[in-house]
Amino acid sequence: MTVVIDPAFDPVPSLERSTRVSVSHRPPEGPGATAVFVASEGELPGGASRIGREALAAAGFTGAANQTLLLPGAPLRVLVGTGEKGIETDAQLRDAVAAFARAAREAGSLAVDLTDLLASGDWDAGIAVQAAIEGAVLARYRYDALKGDPSTVALDELMLQIAEEHAEAAEFGVERGLVLARTAALARDLANTPPRHLSAVKFAEVIERLAPEFGLEAKVFDRQALIELGAGGLLGVNAGSVEEPRMIKVSYRPADPDGHLALIGKGIMYDSGGISLKPSNAMHAAMKFDMMGAAAVFSSMTALRELGVATAVTGWLMCTDNMPSGSATKLGDVLTIRGGKTVEVKNTDAEGRLVMADGLVLATEDDSVADRRPDAIVDIATLTGAAMMALGTRTAAMLANNDAVAAQLEAAAEATDENIWRFPLDHRYRDQLKSSTADLSNIGGQYAGVILAALFLGEFVDGTPWGHLDIAGTMQAESDDLWRSAGSTGFGARLLAEFAAAFEKPRVEEADTEAGETAEDSEPC
Ligand code: BES
Ligand code: MN
Ligand code: ZN
């Protein structure tokens, strides 16, 4: 290839940046900007009382949630609206601090006084501090790796003020906030990187380099190794590409692990649709983000050691691009997935489920922890446009064959404010995945696309407690929005880290009972 890419190009610049966080009961010295939280009702706080509601309203500031108004001076004071009731949840605090950090974009150091907030209601100071850090750091995230002249001011320091009694609880929150913000920023970096700058081969190299820094082991499977494994889904999707595929297995093994969790990520480095070529529109142009699932899995794993996670976690990143060419998989071709099930490819743009199928089977076979298969499998994939049609860009679809896994995913999503909504794994639609020439077809009918894709994946989990996240709608933000930044959102990275950190083994009996399925009708077709 005759394309010039700077050999010194760094696909993960966020890891080179850091924000210092200080926590003190004393007012901070010399911040560039200070937040003043203002509810839309009730008494004005000290920083705004002299101005009065009327003058604020005349300037367009009513105190509505996340509204901001700059009051010039040194330090710059930024009024941040907190709505009628003020800040009541950690999600609202994350949002409010993000609004502040964006409004004070020229300030390299920010101060937030959490004393009054923590004195009201029953806050866990650690969780509040964590949310504040995530809000500030992620709001100031930027992707300028390929810009000659970065146009934004870095956030060097965040000064938090809290009462002395909360100091100890806050300490853990500082560490968690910094780790989780870095985790999401890493996922954003990886997904924002253009497809040629981050091919499957390069992604594997980046992971091999980073894994040891975070207490992880990485094993990379090249084309030959995938042939030996019989990973026909990943190889079939890769067939049209001049770039080799890579499967990257990432392992986190704490001493004396308490359970084993497998995470599978869709790593389509670029999804052109293949022979079923996508039209050249904005949706197609977003397909460098089609590896967000794999980016989320790896990024989440970089947090595990620092969060002190006791569960062993194995990540399976299924990476290739999906290209049309003379060697590409054709409509009507039949692929043999790891383990022997055959799939007729009726649409090469339904490629995610093909690469994920190999990963799911390999995960179910993995008895490297306690000689048993994993206690649960969670997969994450930018799988269907239907997920975006159904839930938009703020909520991801979740499906599961196990209520305990579903509930733990919902709890993690609640903690990170990465919304998910459970869809039914309705086995009555499974007939649509029948094929006349193979065990399965890779597409069903026109409707219920989210469910059909999940039912397809469910054929490969062999009854293991399993949850599936379809993040097609949430992978990208069109514009900066509080702690989400335009481009890749990093959705799922914090969620999976929180999920792993709180993971409890589900009871195996619960698996596959969701749609009243019996062993008999779980045979494919
Ligand atoms: N990567 C896409 C899904 C996608 C669409 C992600 C929009 C983000 C935004 C996936 O590989 C795909 O093309 N899915 C097809 C499946 C269909 C052919 C059954 C789709 O959703 O159209
Ligand atoms: Mn596709
Ligand atoms: Zn895709």
Flag whether 2 is in a domain: no
Among 196, 278, 346, 422, the active-site one is 278
- CA 315 distance to own-chain centroid: 14
Q: What pLDDT was estimated at residue 4?
A: 85
Rounded to 10°, the helix 167-192/493-501 angle is: 140
Does 514 have pLDDT greater than 50? Answer: no
**Per-residue pLDDT at 507:** 83
Does 374 sit behind a cis peptide bond, omega within 30 degrees of 0 on the bond before it? Answer: no
Model confidence at 511: pLDDT above 60: no
Each residue of 461-508: pLDDT tens digit? 999 999 999 999 999 999 999 999 999 999 999 999 999 999 999 987
**Nearest CA-CA partner of 143 in 184, 189, 201, 111:** 189
pLDDT band per the 50, 70, 90 thresholds, residue 83: very high
Q: What is the pLDDT of residue 135?
A: 98
What is the pLDDT at residue 151? Answer: 80
Q: What is the pLDDT averaged over residues 401-425?
A: 98
> Considering 353, 373, 484, 494, which one is annotated as catalytic?
353
Burial category of 70 from C-beta neighbours within 10 Å (exposed 0-12, middle 13-18, buried 19 and up): middle
Residue 418 amino acid letter: E
Compute the half-sphere exposure of residue 24: CA atoms within 13 Å on the CB side of its CA.
Answer: 9
Q: Which atom of ligand 1 is nearest to the CA of 287?
A: 1
**Among candidate residues 158, 185, 212, the one where a domain is terminated:** 185
Domain count, the chain: 2
Helix, strand and coil percent figures for the chain, each rounded to 5: 35, 20, 45
- The answer to whether position 520 is within a domain reads no
Question: How far does the centroid of ligand 1 lie from the alpha carbon of residue 345, in Å?
Answer: 14
**Residue 182 annotated among the catalytic residues of the structure:** no
Q: What is the pLDDT of residues 252-276, one digit of tens each?
A: 999 999 999 999 999 999 999 999 9
Residue 332 dihedral angles phi and psi, to the nearest 5°: 100, -15
Which stretches within 374-463 are classed as H helix? Answer: 385-391, 403-416, 449-458
Angle CA 38–92–33, to nearest 5: 50
Residue 1 lies in a domain: no
Confidence grade of residue 1 (pLDDT, cut at 50, 70, 90): low
- The pTM of this model reads 0.96
Q: Tell me if 14 sits within 8 A of 20, measured CB to CB.
A: no
- Per the structure block, which two tokens stand in for 76? 């710059």
Whether residues 252 and 371 share a domain: the answer is: yes
Give ion ligand 3 contacts, CB < 5 A. Answer: 268, 271, 290, 352
**For 276-315, what is each residue's pLDDT tens digit?**
999 999 999 999 999 999 999 999 999 999 999 999 999 9
Say whether both 199 and 171 belong to one domain.
no
pLDDT surpassing 80 at residue 512: no
* Residue whose CB lies within 8 A of the most ligand 1 atoms, among 384, 443, 491, for a mutation test: 384
Question: Is residue 288 a part of any domain in this protein?
Answer: yes
Percent of the chain with pLDDT over 70: 97
Phi, psi of 138 (to 5 degrees): -75, -30
For the CA of 475, the nearest ligand: 1
Q: What domain range is 217 assigned to? A: 194-501
133 lies in the same domain as 253: no
For residues 470 and 367, membership in a common domain is answered with yes
Whether the pLDDT of residue 520 is over 90: the answer is: no
Residue-level pLDDT at 47:
80
Residue 19 pLDDT greater than 90, yes or no: yes
337 contacts 441 by C-beta, under 8 angstroms? no
Domain C-terminal end among 185, 215, 232: 185
Q: What is the pLDDT of residues 208-223, one digit of tens each?
A: 999 999 999 999 999 9
Same domain, 415 and 441: yes
Beta bridge pairs of residue 398: 422, 469
We report the CATH number of the domain holding residue 149 as 3.40.220.10
Side-chain half-sphere of 179: how many Cα atoms within 13 Å?
Answer: 21
Q: What is the pLDDT of residue 525?
A: 36
Alpha helix ranges (H) inside 211-268: 223-229, 232-238
User: Which residue type occupies 186?
Assistant: L
Residue nearest to atom 7 of ligand 1 (CA): 385
Active site residue 278: yes
Question: Is there a single domain that holds both residue 235 and residue 337?
Answer: yes
Q: Which amino acid is at 74?
A: A
Same domain, 225 and 164: no
User: Whole-angstrom Cα distance, residue 13 to residue 288?
Assistant: 18
| Residue 149: pLDDT band with limits 50, 70, 90 | confident
Cα 375 to Cα 467: distance, rounded to the nearest angstrom: 12
Q: Is 98 a domain residue?
A: yes
Residues 204 and 233 grouped into a single domain: yes
Beta bridge partners of 112: 160
Q: What is the predicted pLDDT for the residue at 516? A: 40
What are the pocket residues of ligand 1 if the criterion is a CB atom closer than 6 Å to any ligand atom?
271, 283, 290, 347, 349-352, 382-386, 388, 443, 449, 472, 475
199 in the same domain as 109: no
Whether 33 has a pLDDT exceeding 70, the answer reads yes
Residue 509 lies in a domain: no
Which atom of ligand 1 is least distant from the CA of 349? 13
Mutational test site, ligand 1, from 383, 433, 456, max ligand atoms within 8 Å of CB: 383
The predicted structure's pLDDT at residue 278 = 98
Q: Over the chain, what is the mean pLDDT?
A: 95
Say yes or no: 101 and 18 in one domain: yes
CATH number at residue 313: 3.40.630.10
Answer yes or no: do 39 and 174 share one domain: yes
Stated as kind and residue range, the H or E segment containing 381 is strand 376-381
Q: Is the pLDDT of residue 340 over 90?
A: yes
Co-location of 226 and 206 in the same domain: yes
pLDDT score of 509: 54
Task: Say how many Å lie between the first and final Cα of the chain, rounded.
Answer: 44
135, 151, 185 - which closes a domain: 185
Distance, in Å, from the CA atom of 131 to the CA atom of 158, rounded to the nearest integer, reads 13
Give residue-wise pLDDT tens across range 87-122. 999 999 999 999 999 999 999 999 999 999 999 878
Instruction: Kindly tell me if the per-residue pLDDT of 13 is higher than 50.
Output: yes
pLDDT tens digits, 363-384:
999 999 999 999 999 999 999 9
In a domain? residue 512: no
Q: Does pLDDT of 327 surpass 70?
A: yes
Query: Is residue 100 a part of any domain in this protein?
Result: yes
Residue 223 CB-half CA count within 13 A: 12
